Chain A
Amino acid sequence: TQLLEQSPQFLSIQEGENLTVYCNSSSVFSSLQWYRQEPGEGPVLLVTVVTGGEVKKLKRLTFQFGDARKDSSLHITAAQPGDTGLYLCAGTRGGTYKYIFGTGTRLKVLA
């Protein structure tokens, strides 16, 4: 059973386009994080959201946590080739510190 489903699984776009990646669950999460992973490396944290409805911006990236804390989205404006990578959402539930990762979205931005 996969608690965090990400969509789309793969995405290939041209430089300058906008895109949105989704992370969905039927369960409520205490916190949700987004990571980016490049080939041959470990994931690197982009953002953490903890409050339902919370929106955070990181340059061209906008992250939103759903009101019910069951879903999240990542929006990239004017994508660049440097944004290429595997985007992973990860969440914790209840009072635990077990970080569960999503299925991942592999993004490729073409120059």
Chain B
Amino acid sequence: NAGVMQNPRHLVRRRGQEARLRCSPMKGHSHVYWYRQLPEEGLKFMVYLQKENIIDESGMPKERFSAEFPKEGPSILRIQQVVRGDSAAYFCASSPPPDPGELFFGEGSRLTVL
């Protein structure tokens, strides 16, 4: 049973480019979370999604950031026109139905903006 898969593990972008981070939840899991982590800090909540629905996006910046969890395929966190301050590790977690309990995390995607 494969764990939560995130790709790419490392991504380098120049200012103004777009970053797309992918997350495939564990088989059978219907809840997906995205978190952002800066060095030496805890995890900051960004968004909570279920299949085809955004449940809570209160942690997402109003501009440039978007997330989706389509009926088929992985969840995508998209950052448009990246800036240096977007450099961070982005973690995805999934949880099984019916209600989220234990969060199973991927190994993260580390974004570096030059």
Chain A residues in the interface with B (C-beta under 8 A): 6, 33, 35, 40-45, 48, 88, 90, 96-104, 106
Contact = CB atoms under 8 A, between A and B. Distances in A.
Given A41-B107, A42-B106, A42-B108, A99 B100 contact: yes
B107 A40 contact: yes
Contacts of A33: 102-103
Contacts of B107: 40-42
29 contacts: A6-B42, A33-B102, A41-B108, A42-B93, A42-B105, A42-B106, A42-B107, A42-B108, A43-B103, A43-B105, A44-B105, A45-B102, A45-B104, A90-B103, A97-B55, A97-B56, A98-B45, A98-B56, A98-B58, A99-B45, A99-B103, A100-B45, A101-B35, A101-B45, A102-B42, A103-B41, A104-B41, A104-B42, A106-B40
Measured as residues with beta carbon below 8 angstroms from the partner, the interface class of chain B is 20 to 34
Contacts of B44: 101
A77 B25 CA distance: 35
A97 B105 contact: no
Interface of B: 4, 31, 33, 35, 40-45, 48, 55-56, 58, 91, 93, 99-108
A48 B101 contact: yes
Contacts of A103: 41-42
Contacts of B35: 101
A97 B102 contact: no
A99 B33 CA distance: 9
A101 B43 CA distance: 6
Contacts of A101: 35, 42-45
Nearest to B108: A42
A88 B42 contact: yes
Contacts of B102: 33, 45, 48
Contacts of A88: 42-43
A96 B69 CA distance: 19
A36 B43 CA distance: 12
Given A48-B102, A106-B40, 8 more contacts: A33-B102, A40-B107, A41-B108, A42-B105, A45-B102, A101-B42, A101-B45, A103-B42
